[in-house]
Amino acid sequence: MTLLDPGVGPATDRPVVLAAPEPSAPAPRGARRPDWAWLGLLPFAAYLAAFLILPTVLTLLTGLFDGDGAVTGENLAGLVDPVILATFWNSTWVSLLTAAIGAVVGALVCLALLGLPETGVVRTGVDAASGVLAQFGGVMLAFVLIATIGTQGVVTGILRETLGWDIFAGGAWIYGLPGLIPAYIVFQVPLMILTFMPALSALKPQWAEAHLTLGGTRLGFWPHIGVPVLAPSFLASFLLLFANSFSSYATAAALASQGSQIVPLQIRTALTSETLLGRENLAGALALGMIVVVAAVMTAYSAIQRRAARWQS
């Protein structure tokens, strides 16, 4: 900025330059203030330690010791018992079947919802219902199934009286292993909707437009672009559904009151049975086997989910 010196004539006017102020010296660095933001994680850390880390450690310890506290491999050897292997196989095929049905039906529901506005009544209603039904299980779910398709259920009576079809002509299957299939599907489909809908919504309309511009068809978009892009998310959701049903206990305990046909019920038997005294620590070995299976599934789920997140971001 310049000013004219008032004491000098017009012929000798010279501009007077006002120098800019020198930048102030940086303030001396003091001691670094401690960051206390991590204190907000203490409640969650305590919850994680009490309900995940501690039970896992106790499971490992009880599976490696006998009732007298001596180290033994008998409990782990019990995992290869034919009865135990049968329960693991039952848990595996029931989980695979219900996860497959839940994944396919849930994906079709997500595809049907894709064309609806996100803030519409139908979309928000399905999202809300899925959030509730995904956590619906235990005694409440068992009661709903017994009241609807039980031996004296409402739907069972209607089918018997109107169509002459007795769905229990071959036995009361609902109280055994087959009865877990419709029970698990009730919460598997909503869980699939919650986990797969974000991936389906992330499909960009520009991809379909580019496909059409290059000579493709609307129907050909899915096998060439849609399915390959969504395959990692679909597989990750399927693995999540498998782990969800594999570790489910409350619904099976309330519905299948007799027998121990899956691993969670076999753990209950090992802990509470009056005929298998001294085998309480076998429950720890069974739980350890479940932890290994679920940990492997969830590790694969995390790896696939990271790959799917590359194009969703």
60 assigned to some structural domain: no
8 assigned to some structural domain: no
Residue 289 one-letter amino acid:
G
* pLDDT in the model for residue 22: 58
* pLDDT in the model for residue 78: 79
* Mean pLDDT calculated for residue range 6-24: 52
- The overall average pLDDT reported for the chain is 83
Q: What confidence category does residue 274 fall into, taking pLDDT thresholds of 50, 70 and 90?
A: low
pLDDT tens-place string over residues 91-131: 999 999 999 999 999 999 999 998 888 888 999 999 999 99
Q: Is the pLDDT of residue 161 over 50?
A: yes
* pLDDT in the model for residue 184: 94
* pLDDT in the model for residue 5: 46
Total number of domains in the chain: 1
Q: Distance between CA atoms of 231 and 218, rounded to whole angstroms?
A: 19
* pLDDT in the model for residue 98: 96
Tell which wins on pLDDT, 93 or 223: 93
274 assigned to some structural domain: yes
Angle ∠(25,31,37) on CA atoms, nearest 5: 120
Top mean pLDDT of 95-99, 146-150, 197-201, 260-264 is at 95-99
Q: Is the pLDDT of residue 26 over 80?
A: no
190 assigned to some structural domain: yes
Q: Is the pLDDT of residue 24 over 70?
A: no
113 assigned to some structural domain: yes
Q: What CATH number is attached to the domain comprising 145?
A: 1.10.3720.10
Q: How many residues does the chain have?
A: 313
pLDDT tens-place string over residues 184-202: 999 999 999 999 998 888 8
Q: Which residues contact 118 (CB under 8 A, 6 or more apart)?
A: 124, 201
Residue whose structure tokens are 């139908």: 122
Instruction: Tokens for 147, please give them.
Output: 């009241």
What is the residue range of 95's domain? 68-312
Q: Distance between CA atoms of 274 and 19, rounded to whole angstroms?
A: 96
11 assigned to some structural domain: no
Q: Is the pLDDT of residue 218 over 50?
A: yes
* pLDDT in the model for residue 9: 47
Q: What confidence category does residue 23 fall into, taking pLDDT thresholds of 50, 70 and 90?
A: low
- Report the predicted TM-score, pTM, of the whole model to 2 decimal places: 0.79
273 assigned to some structural domain: yes
Q: Distance between CA atoms of 250 and 139, rounded to whole angstroms?
A: 7
Residue 313 is classified by DSSP as -
33 assigned to some structural domain: no
Q: Distance between CA atoms of 250 and 158, rounded to whole angstroms?
A: 29
- Residue 123 sits at φ, ψ, to 5 deg, of -65, -50
Percentage with pLDDT > 90 across the chain: 33
Residue 62 is classified by DSSP as H
pLDDT tens-place string over residues 281-313: 788 888 888 888 988 998 998 888 787 777 665
Q: Distance between CA atoms of 157 and 161, rounded to whole angstroms?
A: 6
* pLDDT in the model for residue 208: 82
* pLDDT in the model for residue 52: 85
